[in-house]
Amino acid sequence: MPRFMLFLLLGFSLVTPAAEVLAEEEEEALGPKVQYIEFEPSFVVNYGSSGRMKYLRTDVALRVNDPEAAAKVSLHKPYIQNDLVMLFSAQEPEIMNSSAGHEKLRQMALTTVRNLMTRLEGEPCVDDLYFRNLVVQN
């Protein structure tokens, strides 16, 4: 009986790694992998149309769920950066000085990026946009 238990345990130990490999392959086939595309260096812009200079500094990350979308977004990073700089610098202090305004700015930035990618690639490619930090100086 002990010899039978030894063979049984040995058999399970050989099957378990194969089962883990199959589970990993199934996971890869089932769903896309989330990727974050970060922009370096930080965005630093002045904003506001009147009064003294006001500054915004932020780091932006884009979430994509597909390696193909990540490649498309990475290809157009300079264009995306340009449009985000233009968007950020066109803001007024009313938007920049409240949490609700920050969320509105995030949504506007996401819409800007998605519209640009749709125009360039025929699909939005980007699932979400995040500010990793946001510093405003009035």
Q: Does residue 41 sit in the same domain as residue 25?
A: no
pLDDT, tens digit (0-9, with 9 covering 90-100), for 21-68: 555 666 566 566 899 999 999 999 999 888 888 999 999 999 999 999
pTM for the whole thing? 0.77
Q: Does residue 109 sit in the same domain as residue 52?
A: yes
Tokens at 73, concatenated: 């977004």
Q: Does residue 26 sit in the same domain as residue 45?
A: no
Q: What is the CATH number of the domain that holds 75?
A: 3.30.479.30
Q: Does residue 8 sit in the same domain as residue 51?
A: no
Q: Does residue 48 sit in the same domain as residue 26?
A: no
Domain count, the chain: 2
pLDDT, tens digit (0-9, with 9 covering 90-100), for 82-138: 999 999 999 999 999 999 999 999 999 999 999 999 999 999 999 999 999 999 998
What is the rounded CA–CA span in Å between residue 45 and residue 138?
12
Q: Does residue 64 sit in the same domain as residue 124?
A: yes
